[in-house]
Chain A
Amino acid sequence: MTTGTAGTTGTADAPTAAKTGTALVVGRRGRFGRNAFTVAMIWRREMVRFLRSRVRIITGLAQPVLFLFVLGVGLGPVIGDRGIEGVSYQAFLFPGVLVMSIMFTAMFSAISIVWDREFGFLREMLVAPVSRASLVLGKAVGSASIAVLQGTLLLLTAPLVDVDLGIGEAFAMIGLLMLLAFAIVSFGIVVASRMQRVESFQVVMGVVVNPMLFLSGALFPLQGLPDWLSVASKLNPITYGVDPVRRVLLGERGALTWNGEVLPIWTEILVVVVLGAAMLALATRLFSRSD
Chain B
Amino acid sequence: MWWERYPEAGRERSGRPVAAEKLTGRSRVLHDGDVPPAVAVEALERRFGSFTAVDGISFEVEAGELFGFLGPNGAGKTTTISMLCTLLRPTGGTARVAGHDIVAEPDEVRSNIGLVFQETTLDDWLTGDENLRFHGVLYGLPESEVVRRMGPLLEMVGLADRARNLVREYSGGMKRRLEIARGLIHAPRVLFLDEPTIGLDPQTRAHIWDYVERLRREEDTTMFLTTHYMDEAERCDRIAIIDRGEIVAVDTPARLKASVGADTVVVASTDDEALRIDAARDLGVEAELVRDGLRFLVPEGERFVPRLFAVAGDRIQSVSVHRPTLDDVFIKYTGRDIRDAEAGAVDQFRMNPMVRGFRR
Contact = CB atoms under 8 A, between A and B. Distances in A.
A243 B139 CA distance: 43
Interface string A170-205: 000000000000000000000000001000000000
A164 B85 CA distance: 57
A125 B28 CA distance: 29
Nearest to A50: B125
Contact of B107 (A8, A120, A289, A290): A8
A129 B110 CA distance: 5
Interface in B112-150: 112, 115, 117, 119-126, 130, 133-135, 137-142, 145, 149
B104 to A, nearest CB: 13
Interface stretch (A19-27, A71-79, A144-152, A268-276): A19-27
Nearest to B137: A41
Contact of A290 (B21, B34, B100, B357): B357
B66 interface: no
A234 interface: no
Contacts of A34: 137-140
A7 B25 CA distance: 12
A38 B137 contact: yes
B25 to A, nearest CB: 4
Nearest to B146: A26
A247 interface: no
B359 interface: yes
A13 to B, nearest CB: 13
Contacts of B126: 45, 48-49
A1 B28 CA distance: 7
B267 interface: no
A26 B186 contact: yes
Contacts of B36: 1-3
B30 interface: yes
Nearest to A42: B134
A3 B125 contact: no
Contact of B125 (A5, A22, A31, A52): A52
A119 interface: yes
B108 A7 contact: yes
B358 A117 contact: yes
B107 A129 contact: yes
Contacts of B115: 127
B154 interface: no
A123 B121 contact: yes
Contacts of B360: 289
B29 A41 contact: no
A66 to B, nearest CB: 27
A139 to B, nearest CB: 13
A120 B359 contact: no
B88 A290 contact: yes
B138 A25 contact: no
Nearest to A287: B358
Contact of B358 (A22, A45, A123): A123
Contacts of A128: 110, 135, 138-139
From B100, B139, B357, name the one whose CB has the most chain A CB atoms within 10 angstroms: B139
Interface string B167-207: 00000000000000000001101000000000000000000
Contacts of B119: 120
B30 A1 contact: yes
A291 interface: yes
From B63, B112, B137, B149, name the one whose CB has the most chain A CB atoms within 10 angstroms: B137
B116 to A, nearest CB: 11
B87 A25 contact: no
B98 interface: yes
A26 B149 CA distance: 9
Given A8-B111, A27-B145, A130 B138 contact: yes
Given A24-B25, A41-B138, A127-B87, A48 B108 contact: no
A123 B117 contact: yes
A69 interface: no
A30 interface: yes
Nearest to A1: B63
Interface string A103-133: 0000000000000110111111111111000
B217 interface: no
Given A26-B25, A290-B88, A38 B138 contact: yes
A59 interface: no
Contact of A21 (B29, B88, B89, B121): B29
Nearest to A21: B29
A7 B105 CA distance: 13
B158 interface: no
B282 to A, nearest CB: 48
Interface string B22-65: 00011111110011100000000000000000000000000100
12 contacts: A17-B29, A21-B34, A24-B25, A25-B187, A41-B138, A45-B123, A49-B123, A116-B123, A119-B120, A122-B358, A124-B122, A126-B358
Pairs A-B, 10 closest by C-beta atoms: A3-B99, A120-B121, A128-B138, A129-B110, A34-B140, A29-B140, A124-B121, A41-B137, A129-B111, A26-B25
Interface of B: 21, 25-31, 34-36, 63, 85-89, 98-100, 106-108, 110-112, 115, 117, 119-126, 130, 133-135, 137-142, 145, 149, 186-187, 189, 354, 357-360
